[in-house]
Amino acid sequence: MDKSKEGQRKARIRLFRRIAWGYGLFFQWQKKGFMRDLQLLEDRGALFPGARVLDLGCGTGALAAALLEKGCQVVGVDPVEEMLQIARKKVGKEAIFLRGYGEGLVFPDHSFDLVLASHVAHGLGSKERRSLYRRMEQLSKGYVALLDFHGKKGNLLLRLAEAVEDSYYEEFLAVGKEEFLEALPGGEILPLGETSAWFLASWK
């Protein structure tokens, strides 16, 4: 990674360290939403009781908590220790939470039934997104899923938040679908309302 990208990554981590507590306030609300959204993955056979799931960019653990409630075995990874501290407190020891990045993970290939990332891809530049998809495919036995923005632009508050986070929100809206389907041929887009969707790929 070049110095400018590395500097941007470090700046984003500093930001998320400062605002982790705020994410923690919405834990139960997020978990409830994830419980609903995961139904589509269950319907496609990508999620099932006993599945070993890797949650990349797990944040404060709301998705991990929902996955546990679905009967999955969960490993959550995030680069921000403050996020992980909240996740460990709220979710407990039923899930494993590790600090790190997708490309730096040392799991053997095909270690997980499902590798997913919620609202992570739009925060990365194009090259990093493609690298993320390759690593997710490498770690998965058969399913890769993104939950991210798709369709209409969000409201002003969302767009302001993404601007503060210095994300690639608008770029992802424009090219995210085509980029994902090119990286993981045979994938599908499963809309969740007007502004988000599951991006699901399978080679089962």
Instruction: Judge whether 195 and 152 are in contact, CB under 8 Å.
Output: yes
- Biggest CA pair distance of the chain: 43
> What per-residue confidence (pLDDT) applies to 5?
67
Length of the chain: 204
Neighbour order of strands in the sheet with 96-99: 96-99, 73-78, 52-56, 112-118, 140-149, 196-202, 188-191
Closest CA relative to residue 145, chosen from 117, 179, 183, 184 = 117
Q: Which helix (H) or strand (E) holds 4?
A: helix 3-25
Output the six-digit token pair for 64: 């991990």
pLDDT in tens, the chain (204 residues): 444 667 777 777 887 888 888 888 999 999 999 999 999 999 999 999 999 999 999 999 999 999 999 999 999 999 999 999 999 999 999 999 999 876 667 899 999 999 999 999 999 999 999 999 999 999 999 999 999 999 888 777 777 777 777 789 999 999 999 999 999 998 999 999 899 999 999 976
Q: What are the structure tokens assigned to 8, written together?
A: 């941007």
Evaluate the CA torsion angle 177, 172, 151, 103 in order and state its sign.
Answer: positive
